[in-house]
Every structure is written in structure tokens, then in C-alpha cells.
Amino acid sequence: MEKLLYEKFGYSSFRLGQKEIISSVINHQDTIAMLPTGTGKSLCYQYPSYVNNNRVLIISPLLSLMQDQVDQIKLRGEKRVTAINSFLAYNERKQLVANLEAYRFIFLSPEMLNSNEVLHKLKEIGIGLLVIDEAHCISQWGPDFRPDYLRLGHLKKTLGSPCTLALTATATEEIRKDIALKLNLNNWKEWVYSVNRPNIALEVNTFNHVSQKEDKLLSLIQNNTAPGIVFFSSRKKAEEMQAAASSENVRSSVYHGGMETDQRILIQQQFINGQLDWIFATNAFGMGINKNNIRTVIHFHMSSSVENFLQEIGRAGRDLEQAHSILLYSENDEFIPLQLAELEKPAFEQIENFYYMFRRDLSINEIQEKLMLSDTQIRVLSYYIHHEPAEDWAERINQLLDKRVISKKEKVLEMKSYIEAESCRRAKLLAFFEESPAAKADHCCDKCGLEHMMMNREQSSYKEVSWKEKLDKLLLKNE
């Protein structure tokens, strides 16, 4: 196995867990694999394709992540890779689908599962391995985030139940069971590795007032190692703090879901290429970023769950060098995610009216406008109208969503308990996943002591090049 690893991928040895997961997939066994962020999950589906000589379909939730993985595969010389998503123009997509049999690796956004043309072609050409990247999306967010992820069990059946590999970095035992159930996995094998990232030091700073937190953030950005990401729950606050940092000559930009796709891609590329030191982002940023030298992740607002928090801090230190997670908490910060959990649930009258309007053949857009439903609310109701029996529909959906709100609030309170931890924060995080405390890291957390941790802001190696220098280079004047 190591011989093929070196010949195809240029690595002399496997990382933790890779060999076991790959062996399971090579033997055509449905597999759930939980590996920490940045430990090489993509090898787990690329390698088996060359052994079993089969076509691989990868379902990926973020377009930026998908394109990045396509580019990475091409960089190592594999040209038979493509992605089908909303970035493609209609004619371009039609031509690509018509010639899909020419590709070994096919990346697909979950929304493309709504295309009968795509599904028919996938069934026709045959899929040897179905890969679900970020598989926790199936259970953790359900219809709130990407309802099309809940159709993946049906996709598996449509494709003739190929061997399936579900990949995630954070999934409790309960979520892993839910993944297996929703994907209709058969006699599946689980390879679960620790969520612990010992090279990421954990720290929480608490404040009495938001203004103190704002001052601390600007100080941290000036004194902590770049590149870094600052996460916010509010787009407005992200923009406000980025403007303040920019006035202090910090090379930074804002990133959130309300921006145009082209602009988001540009900012990602600038960050990856070292043209930006800091990104002020909502949680729309991060999962799709393949940048291994992020040194600092700061949370201006607390995450809505421990799972989300681990996903977000997992962007740091993928090169296995020292990195830093800093959470800034001011009194009653938990009210934001608790309130968001409440607001995401439509009122019972809205649920009832949605049902009657849908039965009267009003379009989803019309219903959303008339009932003043948020994007999340309309997404959830649109999912359930197609997947729940009509009898007592509104009452049943109202009860389902009430349970969902309670579950989300419990997740927020788990995150609050991490913030309030009186002993080792790393042990607290591991306990959520029923893991034993880890061996003490050199720079574990602020409870264990970070006094010797000197993290000075690095100057980026990126140098602004003038148009004259670029022209000289093009004309080979420097040679």
C-alpha cells in the first residue's frame, strides 16, 4: 500500500487512520470515518479508486471547498476530475453531463440531486464509490442547512447502493448512528479518531461589556500571529470590526453569505495566497478553505454548538505547527444563539398558512413573501411538505420544530459550559465526544497555563508588485 501511496501521491507513509479507512473502502465496506480537520480525508477516497479502478462520486456541501479539491487533484496530474454545481452555465453543465463517463472523480453539490438529467447519467455510467464529505450535515443541521443532504440515502439506492464512505471531523456517537440510518448503510465499519488537535492552544477571555471585547479584538489582531480568521454571528458586526482594523492598516477583508459569489471567491483566493492577513467572517467561511498555515482563530461571538466550534477552530494549524484559538465572551453572549434558535422556527399560524397556500399551488417564492418567512424557515417547511404525510401536517411539523429548538438550545448551553470551564478546556471538549482527557500539550489552554506562549504577529511574505514590475517580468527584463 505504501508503494502505491508514494507512486500516486508522493507520500512515504500514511497519516493516522488513513490506511485503516482506505482498506475498509477497498474491501467494498460501507464506512463512517471521523478524522480531525486537516488530516488528509481526501486521500481516503482518492486512493481506493486506483486500486478498485472505479468511478468516485463526491457530494460536497460548499462550492469553494469543491473547487479547491478539484484543483488539488489536478495539481498532482490527475485530469479526469470535474465538478457539477451552480457555478456552471446551463450549456456548460449540459455538455459536461453528456460526457460524464470521461471522469474518474466527480464532485457534486447536493442541490444537483434535484436534476433528473444528472441522476440518470450517474446511474448510466455507474458509480463505484459514493463519498459524503462533511457528513455531519446530514444530521447536525438537517433541513435547516442543506435539506438536499437528507436525500442522500435515496441517491445511494438510485445508484444501485455502491460502497459509501461518510467523512466528517466532528460527530458524536448519536450523530454517527443518524448518519448510518439516513444513508441506509449496510454492516458499516466505523473508524473514529480523536477530535483533539494538540497543536491548537485554547483560550477564553471574558468581559463585562462589548466595548471591552471590541478593544481586545483589535489588540489581538495587532499582536497575534497571522494569518487568522475572526468569526462573528452578525454580518454587521463583522463589517464594523473589519473597518476598525483596516483603519489600523491591518490587511483584512469581510466574508459573509450576503456577498456576491465572485467577490467571495476573490477574497478566499487573496487569503490563501497571502494577500490578506485576516478574514472577518460569519460561519459561512472556513469549511471550504484549504490553507494549512492559519495561525489564529478568534471567536468574537460564541459558536452555536461545540461541534461548530471544533469545525471552526479546526481551520488553524493544519500544518501541525503551533496555532491558537481565542474565544471572546461578554456577559449574556449566549442570548444571541438562543434567540436565533427561537427565531428560526416559524409561528404555528405561518406553518398552517404555508400548508394551505402550498395546496393552492402558490409558488414557494410567493408563499415566502406573503408569510414573511426567512430563507431558513422556507427551506425547512419546503422540505417537510414533501416528506411528511398530509394528515395533521401543521401540528406535527410544529411539534418537530419545537423539539429542534430545544435541541439547539441544549447545544448552546453545552458551548456555554466550555466557556465557564474551571479546569482544562481541552478535557472539557473531549468529554463532549466521550473521549478521555488527552496527554498535556505544551500549550494546552489558559486553565493549564499559557504564560510562555509568545505568539507575535508574523509579517506576511506577500509583497505588493507594481504594474511596472509585472510588465518587466513578462518581458523577461529581470533575467
Preceding omega of 198 cis (within 30 degrees of 0): no
| Distance separating alpha carbons of residues 387 and 150, to the nearest angstrom | 10
| Distance separating alpha carbons of residues 297 and 255, to the nearest angstrom | 15
Give the pLDDT score at 399.
94
| Distance separating alpha carbons of residues 133 and 167, to the nearest angstrom | 5
Structural contact between residues 167 and 22, judged by C-beta atoms closer than 8 angstroms = no
Q: Which residues of the chain have pLDDT under 50?
A: 454-465, 478-479
- Per residue in 113-169, pLDDT (tens digit) is 888 899 999 999 999 999 999 888 887 555 666 677 778 888 999 999 999 999 998
Give the pLDDT score at 462.
39
- The pTM assigned to this predicted structure is 0.83
Closest CA to 205 of 332, 323, 335, 327: 327
Give the pLDDT score at 286.
53
Give the pLDDT score at 456.
43
- Burial readout 135-173 (b: 16 or more C-beta within 10 A, e: otherwise): bbbbbbbbbbebbbbbbbbebbeebeebbbbbbbbbbbe
Give the pLDDT score at 118.
92
